[in-house]
């Protein structure tokens, strides 16, 4: 064949060539000519199999999503074997060493590709969303087996692991992170959610007791007609604030919000902390934050967080999440971006950015 590429293998060779270019030179170097040159075939081969270049890239992304889903099936089958941190370290490395970093940079760089993918996947970021799901499914399996505590939240832990792993692997020009660094990150995020059923003790465990991440509860189930919270108790967690990573601090704080008392939640803040819902005036100092917590929990009975993505830069943690709460028989789901500054294992500043209109409408109609 003049092109030198068998028809049966052309798609796979072109996909692999594109991925190598992405990892080596970045998305700006990706063209139809560079791909066919890298693959060792004529330019016409690409256009013979795909409608146009963005069509080729869209199918590349879909192909890599299938690969990630295959990794997820393999990870799920490992539930109960080795240790949880070991299995997650291997899986995250497999996802991020090649597939995830390459695809995330590509989708971010090309607007037309992003628009095409949105037609098929209107919610979530390609690869990262699937990777989060596969990690959550694996953790749920480990919960059933008994190696992860039953009160943990696999979805929240998975989002934290994916965000942290992405930060470790994101710089394609830097050396790949060592396995030990990935393992330490995994063990730190999981913290006290691991039970004694693991065959070896994970290194650098930051929580000396389990972090309780309760499943979503019915809206308003923790407040009575007088507005006083009921059935809330601090989670069974003992925190070594000097060793806890910023990501683990935020994860534990989100857990405490769901079932803890105002006093137990306030313990996550420094004495001079600032809590600021951006449309409102900030609460400055732990005492002021505690009073806010008492009023909020008295009125709304607490809050449920669903964290979709979480990332860390130094002592700053950013998460994208959905907050769910109620006032009377009115329920609301509020998309929020949170920025947390962590100092010595406690929250020094917490800023939430969101559209105030849905919240205001709920108050007016309650």
Look at residues 149, 175, 190 and tell me which one is the last residue of a structural domain: 190
Residues 184 and 255 in one domain: no
For residue 356, is it within any domain?
Answer: yes
Residue 312 in contact with residue 167, Cβ under 8 Å? yes
Residues 253 and 185 in one domain: no
For residue 1, is it within any domain?
Answer: no
Count up the domains in the chain and report the number. Answer: 2
Q: Which of 86, 153, 304, 352 is catalytic?
A: 352
Beta bridge partners, 334, equal 323
164-179 pLDDT, tens per residue?
888 888 776 778 889 9
Pick out the chain residues at pLDDT < 70. 1-8, 99, 121-124, 172, 196-243, 279, 300-302, 327-329, 356-366
What is the rounded distance in angstroms from the CA atom of residue 51 to the CA atom of residue 54? 8
Q: Strand (E) positions, the chain?
A: 269-277, 283-284, 304-313, 316-327, 330-343, 346-353
What is the rounded distance in angstroms from the CA atom of residue 355 to the CA atom of residue 297? 21
Look at residues 190, 209, 238 and tell me which one is the last residue of a structural domain: 190
Kindly list the distances between the CA atom of residue 76 and the CA atoms of 87, 190, 213, in Å, as whole numbers in the listed order: 10, 17, 21
Residues 95 and 161 in one domain: yes
Residues 172 and 275 in one domain: no
Residues 260 and 178 in one domain: no
For residue 231, is it within any domain?
Answer: no
CATH number reported for the structural domain that contains residue 130 in this entry? 1.10.357
Look at residues 144, 163, 190 and tell me which one is the last residue of a structural domain: 190
Characterise 130 by phi-psi region: left (phi > 0), alpha (psi -120 to 50), beta (else): alpha
77 part of the active site: no
Q: Which pLDDT belongs to residue 254?
A: 83
Residues 183 and 294 in one domain: no
Residues 253 and 174 in one domain: no
Domain that residue 80 falls in: 50-190
Residues 71 and 186 in one domain: yes
323 part of the active site: yes
Residues 250 and 359 in one domain: yes
Tokens for 335?
A: 């998309």
For residue 38, is it within any domain?
Answer: no
For residue 14, is it within any domain?
Answer: no
CATH number reported for the structural domain that contains residue 327 in this entry? 3.10.450.50
For residue 262, is it within any domain?
Answer: yes
Residues 173 and 77 in one domain: yes
For residue 31, is it within any domain?
Answer: no
Q: Which pLDDT belongs to residue 137?
A: 94
Q: Which of 323, 329, 344, 355 is catalytic?
A: 323
291-331 pLDDT, tens per residue?
888 887 777 666 777 888 878 888 888 888 888 877 666 77
Q: Which pLDDT belongs to residue 100?
A: 72
In this structure, the strands spanning 269-277 and 346-353 are parallel
For residue 265, is it within any domain?
Answer: yes
């Amino acid at each position: 064949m003049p092109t030198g590429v068998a028809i049966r293998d052309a798609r796979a060779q072109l996909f692999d060539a594109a991925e190598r270019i992405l990892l080596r030179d970045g998305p700006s170097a990706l063209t139809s000519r560079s791909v066919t040159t890298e693959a060792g075939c004529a330019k016409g081969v690409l256009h013979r199999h795909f409608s146009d270049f963005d069509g080729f890239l869209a199918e590349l992304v879909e192909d890599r999503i299938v690969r990630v889903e295959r990794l997820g099936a393999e990870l799920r089958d490992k539930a109960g074997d080795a240790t949880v941190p070991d299995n997650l370290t291997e899986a995250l490395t497999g996802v991020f060493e090649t597939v995830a970093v390459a695809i995330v940079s590509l989708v971010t760089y090309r607007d037309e590709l992003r628009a095409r993918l949105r037609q098929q996947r209107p919610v979530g970021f390609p690869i990262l969303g699937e990777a989060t799901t596969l990690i959550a499914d694996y953790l749920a399996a480990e919960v059933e087996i008994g190696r992860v505590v039953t009160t943990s939240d696999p979805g929240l832990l998975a989002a934290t692991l994916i965000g942290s792993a992405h930060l470790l692997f994101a710089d394609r020009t830097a050396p790949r992170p060592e396995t030990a660094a990935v393992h330490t990150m995994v063990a730190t995020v999981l913290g006290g959610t691991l039970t004694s059923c693991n065959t070896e003790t994970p290194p650098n465990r930051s929580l000396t007791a389990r972090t309780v991440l309760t499943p979503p509860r019915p809206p308003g189930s923790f407040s009575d007609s007088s507005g006083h919270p009921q059935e809330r108790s601090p989670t069974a967690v003992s925190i070594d604030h000097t060793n806890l990573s910023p990501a683990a601090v935020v994860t534990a704080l989100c857990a405490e919000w769901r079932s803890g008392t105002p006093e137990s939640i306030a313990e996550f803040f420094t004495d001079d902390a600032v809590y600021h819902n951006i449309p409102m005036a900030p609460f400055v100092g732990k005492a002021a934050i505690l009073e806010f917590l008492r009023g909020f929990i008295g009125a709304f009975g607490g809050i449920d967080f669903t964290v979709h993505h979480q990332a860390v830069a130094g002592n700053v943690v950013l998460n994208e999440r959905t907050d769910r709460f109620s006032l009377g028989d009115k329920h609301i789901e509020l998309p929020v971006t949170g920025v947390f500054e962590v100092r010595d294992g406690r929250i020094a500043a917490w800023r939430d950015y969101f559209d105030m209109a849905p919240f205001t409408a709920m108050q007016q109609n309650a």
